Amino acid sequence: MTHPTLTGRHALVTGAGRGIGAAIAGSLAALGASVTLLGRNRSTLERAAAGLAPHAGVHTAQCDVSDELQVKLAVDGARQALGPIQILVNNAGQAGSAPFMKTDIALWNSMLATNLTGAYLCARACLPDMFEAGFGRMVNIASTAGLTGYPYISAYCASKHGMIGLTRSLALELAGRNITVNAVCPGYTDTDMVRSAIENIRINTGRTQAEALAALTERNPQRRLITPAEVAHAVVWLCLPGTESVTGQAITLAGGEVM
């Protein structure tokens, strides 16, 4: 029995320098895909690229996904380096917290620009290749915050709810083109971003690190953080043969927190 692979596919992953994005890029490359790692920091991108499967084609592109021109140039460069793009993973994101009345316009705009407008711009840049190929897989890394509310992160919640709305709308619009569009919605995940949140809780509340971690995981019935590898596994599954009918879904990875 042969195992399905992604050989011959070119995947572009945003926010790919570390954490969830790096794990996704590594999992896609391990199954034979050529991978473009896109992100803001060139050194982190190059370190992540160096760790990918040696047989895979690899390209890195420094880019702010909220900037239309930068996205266009980065996608054009990726296409020239590795060929047309058939898989897009919109993972780039930011998380900022504040009480709503202290959520100023700069924080609001920053959350929407990176988390939502970035996905919009990358989708518009990559979809022409999928149209031409008659095949495409788009996976948007949303969050449980796109499915339910949390206090003190209103801008982040709004951006992730918007990403899921975009996912569902595009899935219906593209259903007849052999292009699927899905969202993966992890709960708190073991990344640098969450480790920073734990440290902020510790500093601001006087709690121990263990107590701060417990505060983040208390809504997860498994009482743990999600791992980047778990998110990557879900993304890869959505890109492999056999998932052609899975589209418009928001797949939750949160230990039963959101049902």
Query: Given this model, what pLDDT does residue 2 score?
Result: 54
Which superfamily does 10-190+226-253 belong to? NAD(P)-binding Rossmann-like Domain (3.40.50.720)
Q: What is the pLDDT along the chain (259 residues), one digit of tens a residue?
A: 456 799 999 999 999 999 999 999 999 999 999 999 999 999 999 999 998 877 779 999 999 999 999 999 999 999 999 999 999 999 999 988 888 999 999 999 999 999 999 999 999 999 999 999 999 999 999 999 999 998 889 999 999 999 999 999 999 999 999 999 999 999 888 787 777 777 776 777 778 878 777 777 888 999 898 999 999 999 999 999 999 999 999 999 999 999 8
Q: What are phi and psi of 220, to 5 degrees?
A: -85, 115
Tell me the CB-side half-sphere exposure of residue 141, using CA atoms within 13 A: 32
Two tokens, residue 37: 């790692």
Q: Any idea how long the chain is?
A: 259
Measure the CA–CA gap between 234 and 251, rounded to whole angstroms.
Answer: 8
pLDDT at 185: 97
State the Cα angle at 47 between 73 and 199, rounded to 5°. 105
pLDDT at position 105 is 98
pLDDT computed for residue 1 by the predictor: 45
Amino acid at 204: N
Helices (H), the chain: 19-30, 42-50, 68-82, 105-112, 118-133, 154-173, 192-205, 209-217, 228-239
Q: What's residue 138's pLDDT?
A: 98
Name the packing angle between helices 105-112 and 154-173 (round to 10°). 30
pLDDT number for residue 98 = 87
Cα 184–Cα 185–Cα 187 angle in degrees, nearest 5:
140
Residues serving a catalytic function are 156
Q: Residue 201, SS3?
A: helix
Torsion of CA 137, 131, 244, 28, to 10 degrees: -30
